[in-house]
Structure 1
C-alpha cells in the first residue's frame, strides 16, 4: 500500500513539473512573439517616417525649383526693363509710360531682394535609436493621411511663385509699352528730320554736279528695307532665325521694322551708340542691318552687280549695317563719318577697304562688325 502511494506521488509530481515546464515554454514563446511584434512595429514606424521625410524633401525641391524659375524670369525682365528705361530717357512723347515702368521695376527689385536665390530647406533625418514621437500620420474620416499641413505649406509656396510670375508679366508689359513709345518717338523724329531735309533741299543742277544739295540722298534706286528675323531660318546667309539675332534698343525703319543684327554685333553697337550719342547728341541713324535672302535676290535683280550675289552678302550674316545715304550727315567728309572710322574699331565696327573712297566699290554708308 505504501509503495502505491509513493508511486502515485511520483506520478503527480512529474505531471506538475511537466505542466510548469510547458507554462514556462509558452511564456517564453509569447515573450518572443511580443518582442518580434514590437520590433516590427518600430521598423514600420521608422520606414513610414523616412518615407514621409522623403516626400517632404521632394515637395520642397519642386517648390524651390518653381520659385527659382519664377525668380530668374523676373530678374531677366527687370534687366531688360532697366535697359529700355535708360535708353528711352527723354525720348518718349508721354513720360507716364516710363514712370509706370520705373514703378514696377522698383517693386520687382524689392521682390528680388526679399526672395533669396539660394534658400535651402533643412532636412530632418530619423535615427535608428529612437522612433519619432508620432510615426503615423493622422487620418481623417476617409482613412487617408491628413495633408492639411503640407497643403498649407504648398499653398504658401504657390502664392509666392504666382506673385513672382505675375510681377514678371507686369514688368514685361510695362517694358513693351515703353519700347513701343520709344520706337514711335524715334520714327517721328526720323520723319521730322526727313521733312526738314526735304524742305531745305535745292534743285539739282542739270546733269548733277555741285549745284545739287549735299543733304539729298545719293540713292536713286527702288526702296529696300531692313529685314526681320527669318522664321524657320536654318542659320545660313540671309536665313537667320530670331534666336541668332538681337534688335537694337533704338530705331525702326519706315515700315516699323526694328534693326536686327547678330547678338554680339548688336551688343557692341549699343556701346558704340552710347559714345556716338554723347558726341553728337542723338542716336546713330540706321538704314539697313540684317537682310534676308529674298530681299537680297530682289536687290540683285533691281541693281545688278552692285548688289552682292544672294547668299554672299555681309548683311545676310547679320554682321553689317548701313547708315542713311545722306552725304551731309554721314558722307565722306562729315564729322559723323570721321568719328565712326576713328572710333568704330574700338567697338569692333569698321569700314571695309573695298567701301573706302578709293576702294573697289565706295560706300560711305557701309560698316561691318569684325569683333
Structure 2
C-alpha cells in the first residue's frame, strides 16, 4: 500500500475487525511521518524531488508497511493457536500428560535399579555403576516437581546410564568366558601331555608302569577319605547336629557314595543360583567335594589331620554354610578360571572365599568357600 500523494484519493480502510491492532498503529505512524515529510517538502520547495526518487521512496515505504502488517498478523496467529491449544488441552489434559511421563520415568528407574543391584562385581570399571546411581538419585530428587518435558528427559538419562552398565556387564562376562575357555584348553593340554609321557606296557598283559613324577594336575589331598554327611537324626540344631528340617540337598550332584550334598536351606538356594551362573559362564556345573559335616566326622577329621581341621563343634561345615570344591589345582586352584569366577562373582550370591583361606591367609585353602548371605 502506498501513502497518499498530492491530489490522490485515499482508499477506504478495511474493516477494523480484519486487521490486527498493531498493524493499525504502525500504519497510522507511517502515514503521519509521510504527511509530515510531504508538508516539510512543500515548505522547502515540495516538488524538488525527482519523480524517480519519489517513486523509489514510496516503494520502500510500501514494503515496510507490508512487513509490519505481516508481522502483526503472525503475532495474532501465534496467540490464537496458543489460546486454542490451551482450551483444547485444559488443566486435566496437562495433568494427564505429566502422569504418563512420570509413569515412564518410574518404569525406567525400577528397571535401572534392578540392573544396578545385579551388576555388583560384574563390571571391570565400577564408574559406570556409580554414574547410574548418580542419575537415579537425581531423578528421584527431581521427579516430584519436574514438568512433563523434564520427566521425559530424566527417563532418557536413566535409560542411557543403564545401557552403559548393561554393556559393561556383557563385556565382563565375555572376558570371563574367554578366560574360562583358555583355562579349559590349558588343562586339556596338560592332561594330554601327562598321558603322552606315561610309559606304556611293552606286551599284552604286562603290569602298568607307575605314573610319571609330574602330577601337577593331580589332587593336592593326601589324607584319608572323608565324605559329606546326611542330616543328623534327632539333631538339636547345634554345630554338626542339624536335623533334616534345617537342610536342603543341592539338585545337580552327589558324592562318590551317592550321598546328596546338604546345606542349610537358604545357603542351598543361593548355591543353586550361583551354579546356574557358573554353568552359563564356564560351561559346566560346579563340582563339590564336601558340604555339611556332622560332629562325628569333625572329630574323625581332627584326629586324622590335626590342626588343619577345625576344632570339632566350630567348623563352618557343621553349620551347613560351607562347601569344599575338589582339591584339583588345574581345575579349581589359585590361578584357574573357576576360582577367578567364584571369587569375583560368588559374593553376589552370598558365597565368599574367606580371608583366612586365601593365598597369604592363615590357612590357605583354594577349595573352601562360605555362605555369608
Q: Bigger radius of gyration, 1 or 2?
A: 2
> Is the structural similarity TM-score above 0.5?
no
Instruction: Give the TM-score taking structure 2 as reference length.
Output: 0.44
